[in-house]
Structure 1
Amino acid sequence: MKKISIIVPVYNTADYLRECLNSIISIPICDKEIIIINDGSTDDSLSIINEYVGKDITVITTANEGLSAARNRGLNISSGEYVLFVDSDDYILPNKIPLLIELADKYKTDVLLGRYIKCKETGEFLSESRMVSTVEGHLVTTGGEFYNGYSLNDATIIVACLKLCRRTFLQRNQILFVKGLYHEDVVFSFLCSKYATRIVQSDIAFYVYRQRAASIVHTPSYKKQVHKLFIADYICNNASESDSEFWPNLAIGLYFDVLRRTKLKNNQLFRKLKSLKKLRFTQKVKLELIRIIQIFASKADIKI
């Protein structure tokens, strides 16, 4: 069994791909496997990938099915003790990965969360994500405790690429990405927190996140708004009393955001939101605002 599997979905990122793959190959761990899923790229991505064949790299080329399907395909063939997802327009700081693994081994974690560094499309560094406010530089919790107290606007804790996951933990709990779903990291992170017995958050900044105007994250669409409602509904249907209070509050935030942007509504989902427990004061206020805004929203419920 390899120590770590790095899964890299690729779709038309030729301009950034070499930097990504070079950073992964440079990880100072001999016992690693790199799994590249070429998700139907139509640019020069596959030609670039072929330059790296034979360097502990497995390459799978498929028709374009989307990020979630590509990640799942890589996860299904992975053999590492740990799994790390890297988007092909980003890159990592290779010398930081052994530090993550050392920490994960020490605490026998299901999930370890590191930090990212934002950079411009040109590569210029912008800022780092928030740090853990502990003397030790890391925080050890259960999954149900981990997200408590976090701001609903803190994207760091949702990002799948910042999570070093134990592969057997993901497999045992059948944690995969929902195929075809925008904001797929939210459901993945929800399930990780739901089932993890030990999560470690670390101050180690290892992931360089490139902000691109053409990336999936920064491309607005009606479909993304509908998918936010799906995620809110998923949380309502699957959250339990033992889960972090972060998740029901996030579900209300997602619904409120969609309603104010688009006036799309779903009365059945709204009734579920009203029955949620452990709500913050701000989200209780939003529920009342939702009730008022829905009076002026579209008459028909949107299907989710």
Structure 2
Amino acid sequence: MQNQSSHTQNIQAPLVSFIITTYNMPTEYLEECLKSILQLSLNAKEREIILVDDGSDICAINGLTKYLQDIIYLRQPNQGASVARNYGMMIAKGRFIQFVDGDDYLVQTAYEHCLDIVRYHQPDIVTFNYVKNRQTDTPPYELPTPISGTAYMSNHNLHGSACSYIFRSSIRGTLQFTPGIVYGEDEEFTPQLFLRAERIFKMDTEAYYYRENPNSVTHQMDHEKISQKMDNSLEVILHLQKLLDKIPVAERQALSRRIAQLSMDYLVNNIRLKHSLIALNHAIKKLRKHGLYPLPDKEYTKKYTMFRKMIGTYVGRMALLFFIKK
């Protein structure tokens, strides 16, 4: 009886829960985001749209009254995207979850290809690309061969954004975003989620429109926020590093690759944001303290290999400071 009841509940659950987070975003952005979801080939029973307002100065729902029948509106005190997403996941009933930032939207034709995989091919995760240009061509649909998360992370550069894939909610377990991390919270969540997946479909389609919003958190970079971004990035790397001794060897190798790439990104961002040899040497010293520098002597990518060689010498560091622009 228990199995039959569980099966019945699973059938009745929405196929996808779309979790949208917003903070002081223009109503027109949110409308465009909602419309992109509502125009998908999902009926009202197949979709669940959860809009989490992270303490906007004016309640986001005020300008969205005509969508009241289509969405679940949640409001919380301003605590950041991590807490807002956790709130959305806590109540989400969908068999799959898709995160969407409120100033972005889904590209219909391309995203439909991803939904086809969700419907018919039992994925754990379907990944896709994002686009910044509204005029985009959708390539012919091709069904990729599914691979495990361990294999994926061992052979591909991971796109950390939590909005760049749709995932089966059951593989998440108790995994959540870490509250208090403002910059790079996705980089901690995504690799852990991928390591739990057995069937990942990597789509080349551009299914997510990312809006360059000058008012977003990631674009407001004064001295204090630069320091916070660097501190958050290191915190994420250290959180992932602590997991290495708790996972099997194959997964450890895959996660070690990701940690090495994030360590490289940490140094690249230090150069890009601070443009100071003193600051760069200080960042290297921090990584060395935690056994993260020198970067592992691996040929993960051509970019990684070249950067690892250059960062190891004074001349190389000066060249990086010259070539990496703000």
Match of 1:115 among 129, 138, 141: 129
What does residue 7 of structure 1 align with? 19
Q: Answer whether contact 2:284 2:293 (CA < 8 A) is retained.
A: no
Over 3 Å counting, the alpha-carbon distance change for 1:158 and 1:21 in structure 2 is: same
| Cα distance in structure 1, aligned partners of 2:19 and 2:228 | 26
Matches within 5 A, 1:1-304: 1-14=13-26, 15-30=28-43, 31-43=46-58, 45-55=60-70, 57-119=71-133, 124-125=134-135, 136=142, 138-150=144-156, 157-170=159-172, 172=173, 174-181=174-181, 182-220=183-221, 221=225, 222-239=227-244, 241-243=249-251, 244=254, 246-257=257-268, 260=271, 261=274, 262-263=279-280, 264-265=282-283, 267=285, 269-270=287-288, 271-274=290-293, 279-280=298-299, 281-282=305-306, 284-285=308-309, 288-289=312-313
C-alpha root-mean-square deviation of aligned residues, in Å? Answer: 2.9
Structure with higher helix content: 2
- Equivalenced residue count is 277
Letter in 1 for 2:96: Y
Over 3 Å counting, the alpha-carbon distance change for 1:51 and 1:169 in structure 2 is: same
SS in 2 for 1:200: strand
Over 3 Å counting, the alpha-carbon distance change for 1:258 and 1:66 in structure 2 is: same
Letter in 1 for 2:33: C
Structure with higher strand content: 1
TM-score between the two structures when normalised by the length of structure 2: 0.75
Structure 2 unaligned segments of length 5 or more: list them. 1-12, 300-304, 318-326
Letter in 1 for 2:122: K
Structure 1 unaligned segments of length 5 or more: list them. 294-304
Tell me the percent identity: 23
Query: C-alpha offsets along residues 71-117 of structure 1, whole Å, 9 cap, x if unaligned?
Result: 11001100011100111101112344443132134432211101222
| Cα distance in structure 1, aligned partners of 2:33 and 2:238 | 35
Letter in 1 for 2:165: K
Over 3 Å counting, the alpha-carbon distance change for 1:69 and 1:286 in structure 2 is: farther
TM-score between the two structures when normalised by the length of structure 1: 0.80
SS in 2 for 1:22: helix
| Cα distance in structure 2, aligned partners of 1:3 and 1:26 | 15
What does residue 296 of structure 1 align with? none
SS in 1 for 2:17: strand
Over 3 Å counting, the alpha-carbon distance change for 1:184 and 1:128 in structure 2 is: farther
Q: Answer whether contact 1:116 1:162 (CA < 8 A) is retained.
A: yes
State the shift of 1:259 in Å. 5.0
| Cα distance in structure 2, aligned partners of 1:72 and 1:247 | 23
Q: Answer whether contact 2:177 2:186 (CA < 8 A) is retained.
A: yes
| Cα distance in structure 2, aligned partners of 1:2 and 1:99 | 18
